[in-house]
Structure 1
């Protein structure tokens, strides 16, 4: 056994929600390579050889409950990767409320043991969460799936930006109570990544930061390049890290904040709520 084994997943069972394509699929493949037993849940068909595939509709609490009954436990690492774009019916459920319901069910069922970890995928759209914290805390205080859906409808927050802000706020807020149970929670905030969802929204999603990437000589990330930090955050090697949304955008936001790449500054300040 070597010190580097802390990065591996031998003997662990990992659940990837939204693992049929994109970053979720890359995460599932990487976890298999790291030694994990992998379960993949998705609305779409799952084609990863060697993984247990379970159908789930994150917009339906009953579907989530049935999927978890089929999955069972333990779940040593939960990767909440599923997400959709604006214009998708039920976006508030698919991008956040359904994921939270799944975590609540796993916790109440004792399926997330001490030493387990949770990893979310947020977005640049979520990085202004601190400026919107009072409203987000009110939303996160909703006790269950139905109450959260009602709240989002009443407050007009069933859209992409709010769901991604909710992820960042939830990760930060839950670090303390979850760690009391021996569970860590983190997220990544990817820069533009060449996934099927990004291709479907190519002009906006892959066009974002294109000037920066052109200046520094890089392309949009691959799904695997985003899976690496996400899998790291849920590994034992990240035992000291919880409550963090790691920005994995090749330095675009930092360059905008510090004005070392001035063309990004106005966009970044807007997204961070610093305008």
Structure 2
């Protein structure tokens, strides 16, 4: 296999969930540039060329299932990129719907041996290991409806942080059962990235701003995240599964390692895993 083939997507069919804007759009564009047939599912319109667009509302299982029914043929990769910062449907949009989609595609054989999944988590989901019993209790809910009911009955879980902790734990726990079926699953954990969601929630001026000033970097851009996602779903990453990969210019690791002396609050957050 040549270098181009091992990193490329020529002849492959990929699904990007949340591919109209932000990191999802960057992944969809990059995959198409590398030769993939790209299907985008999103609630928002897609304003760039792809093979197919399917309108979906991740808040509603029936609408999601109808969208999945429209998929014709196998997929080589799924990029699960849709997400919101807040609202009553946060957990449905950020995790429950993605899990339902992935598990249905695997069960139906649409994602078969040799395929891969990459989700978008966040540095906000780090420290999930400190809350594993609670996260596992949630993940034990077997379907869309029971997961939604669990969130409604557990105060403080319909949060951005808990949604990303759930993503990270899900990726780790599913590495074994999915690999037994020949399917890899990973996630990226972006640091502050210049997306419409980040700008709308003023994230770029907060977390990590002091680190970026000290090292002379700017907030990351969606294309940088897309490049990592495409690598994780490519044959070049064939031995990687169950990984939540930090993409943050070294901020978290420098804080944990102590070389970034102002990283104490980051370490405190990782130890507490406080919800927000």
Which category describes the TM-score, using the shorter chain as reference length?
over 0.9
Q: Say whether the 8 Å CA contact 1:39–1:54 is kept in structure 2.
A: yes
1:135 alignment partner in structure 2? 134
CA contact 2:91–2:158 (8 Å) conserved in 1: yes
Q: Distance in 1 between matches of 2:25 and 2:231?
A: 16
For 2:255, the equivalent position in structure 1 comes to 256
Provide the C-alpha distance between the structure 1 equivalents of 2:173 and 2:259, rounded to a whole number of angstroms: 31
Q: Which residue of 2 aligns with 1:270?
A: 269
State how far apart, in whole Å, the 1-side matches of 2:185 and 2:127 are: 19
Task: Give the superposition deviation at 1:47.
Answer: 1.5
Contact 1:136 1:169 in 2 (8 A): yes
Partner of 2:189: 189
Separation of aligned partners in 2, 1:243 and 1:206: 31
For the residue of structure 1 that corresponds to 2:188, the secondary structure is strand
Aligned pair count reads: 273
The alpha-carbon deviation at position 123 of structure 1 amounts to 0.7
- What is aligned with 2:16? 16
Match of 2:200 in 1: 200
Question: SS state of the match for residue 115, structure 1?
Answer: strand
Measure the CA separation in 2 of the matches of 1:21 and 1:31.
15
In structure 2, runs of 5+ residues without a counterpart are none
Residues 33-85 of structure 1: per-residue CA shift (max 9 Å, x gap): 11110000011111221331111111111111011111232111000000000
Runs of 4+ in 1 over 3 A off after TM superposition: none
Partner deviation per Cα, 1:192-234 (whole Å, 9 max, x = no partner): 00000000011x3442101111111110001001111111000
Pair 1:274–1:46, CA change in 2 (3 A): closer
Which residue number in structure 1 is paired with residue 94 of structure 2?
A: 95
User: For 2:220 and 2:76, how far apart are their aligned partners in 1?
Assistant: 27
Matches within 5 A, 1:225-236: 225-236=224-235
Counterpart contact for 1:257–1:269, Cα < 8 Å? no
